[in-house]
Amino acid sequence: MQPSIPPSPISPPLAGARAYPAGGLAFPHRDLTGIGLLARHEILFLLDEAEQWVELNRQSQKRAGLLSGLTIINAFFENSTRTLLSFEIAGKRLGADVVNMHAATSSVKKGETLIDTAMTLNAMRADAIVIRHASSGAVRLIAGKVDCPVLNAGDGQHEHPTQALLDALTIRQALHLPRGSDLNGLIVTICGDILHSRVARSNILSLTALGAVVRVCAPPALMPAEIEAMGVTVFHDFDAALKGANVVMMLRLQQERMQGQFIPSPREYRHLYGLTLDRLARAEPDALVMHPGPMNRGVEIDSQVADHPTRSLITHQVECGVAIRMACLDVLTRRARGVAGWESQPSSPAGAAYGAPA
Ligand code: NCD
């Protein structure tokens, strides 16, 4: 069931106010390695492109042949369920041949270097490579070594750009905001293991670029130093962080990235930072709840909240994930497919500086 959505706290843009640069100038990047390299209008362009795929994915016939004949390699050096499946479904719905490489069964386990793996994938003439890796910066490294577009599906604690895009699209759809809209004035509270979270980083970059007011909340041990420089307000008291929030984004404790004891116990963590129905009442009356998954029910989020029929957007996030990945795969392969107007897209991984005017 889709949530019944509260009235938008945001004023919609003037009709037709947003126009993008023509053709490939709308997204002049070969790769998608991070939100930090994107200008505001480029983020909006990808969100707008994804809207058509949300619609297609709701039809019984879901196939578009745009990428027919292209090969996409999903190279996942770190475990994943939803992101890998989402990219695989996205590529297949667009008609591409999609191949998944799991690091657990690959030559990486035999000591092959990342660069050698990248060169091998390149020699197989993939048309796009989607990479998840446990090291921050690994995706950029590979992007510099291969000849095709590279998409970051999460690199260490650095970025997870498609997650941030799908989250922005989910919010925009939930608030019934039309194409071209940003999230100006929306108060978004992100709570959890901010320190280890690439989802938090990419979301902070994207939400602030779209005009949202972003609050981050975590125990001091799980809050990165000087995160205020990213334009967010820091909270350690969850109740205070919730007051006035329109959207509450919960994050998992990333135990696999923790070296040492960061929290006294899951029970104590839940007491202070778990999202219960009672606690959600401190946010705006119709505040929406998000979680990128995987969830630890009963720790950072209670089932009553996660499964709430009108407040939880969690399944809608998964739905928007496929659409966003379809949009990214389409846009990044336009140059290679010879789409009119996209010939001049640069072949290097460089991009416009973050914060460039729309
Ligand atoms: C996140 C990730 O892998 O960064 N999950 C996801 O992509 N849906 C968050 C997490 O692992 O907690």
Q: Percentage of the chain surpassing pLDDT 70?
A: 88
**Reported confidence tier of residue 348, pLDDT bands at 50, 70, 90:** very low
Count Cα neighbours of 328 within 13 Å in the Cβ-side half-sphere: 31
Nearest atom, ligand 1, residue 163 CA = 7
The H or E element that residue 97 is part of is strand 97-102
Q: What per-residue confidence (pLDDT) applies to 152? A: 98
Taking CA atoms only, the protein residue closest to ligand 1 atom 11 is 294
How many whole angstroms from 16 Cα to the centroid of ligand 1? Answer: 35
Q: What per-residue confidence (pLDDT) applies to 345? A: 58
What residue has token string 């939803």? Answer: 82
189-208 per-position pLDDT tens digit: 999 999 999 999 999 999 99
Residue in 88, 152, 163, 193 to alter for ligand 1 test, most ligand atoms within 8 A of Cβ: 163
Residues having CB closer than 6 A to ligand 1 are 82-83, 154, 160, 163, 198-199, 252, 254, 292-293
Rounded Cα distance between 325 and 166, Å, is 8
How many whole angstroms from 203 Cα to the centroid of ligand 1? Answer: 12
Give the pair of three-digit tokens for residue 210.
């779209």
Give the pair of three-digit tokens for residue 295.
């969830």
DSSP-assigned letter for residue 286: T
For the chain, the average pLDDT equals 90
**Reported confidence tier of residue 356, pLDDT bands at 50, 70, 90:** very low
224 C-beta neighbours (distance < 10 Å), count: 18
How many whole angstroms from 19 Cα to the centroid of ligand 1? Answer: 33
**Reported confidence tier of residue 13, pLDDT bands at 50, 70, 90:** very low
Rounded Cα distance between 125 and 321, Å, is 26
What residue has token string 């996030």? Answer: 317
pLDDT above 70 (res 29): yes
Count Cα neighbours of 137 within 13 Å in the Cβ-side half-sphere: 0
Nearest atom, ligand 1, residue 80 CA = 3
The H or E element that residue 188 is part of is strand 187-191
String of DSSP letters for 206-258 = HHHHTT-EEEEE--GGGS-TTGGGGT-EEES-HHHHHTT-SEEEE----GGG-
CA-CA-CA-CA dihedral for 340, 344, 348, 352, to nearest 10: -100
129-148 per-position pLDDT tens digit: 999 999 999 999 999 999 99
pLDDT average, residue stretch 90-117: 83
Q: Which range, of 108-117, 160-169, 232-241, 282-291, averages the lowest pLDDT?
A: 108-117
pLDDT average, residue stretch 232-261: 91
**Reported confidence tier of residue 106, pLDDT bands at 50, 70, 90:** low
Three-state secondary structure string covering 93-140: HCCCEEEEEEHHHCHHHHCCCHHHHHHHHHHCCCCEEEEEECCCCHHH
Q: What are the distances in angstroms from CA 205 to CA 43, 93, 229, 308? A: 10, 29, 11, 28
Rounded Cα distance between 256 and 193, Å, is 12
Residue in 199, 250, 318, 319 to alter for ligand 1 test, most ligand atoms within 8 A of Cβ: 199
**Reported confidence tier of residue 266, pLDDT bands at 50, 70, 90:** confident
How many whole angstroms from 294 Cα to the centroid of ligand 1? Answer: 6
Q: Which range, of 45-54, 85-94, 253-262, averages the lowest pLDDT?
A: 253-262
Q: Whole-angstrom distance between the N-terminal and C-terminal Cα of the chain?
A: 35
Cα 272 from chain centroid (whole Å): 26
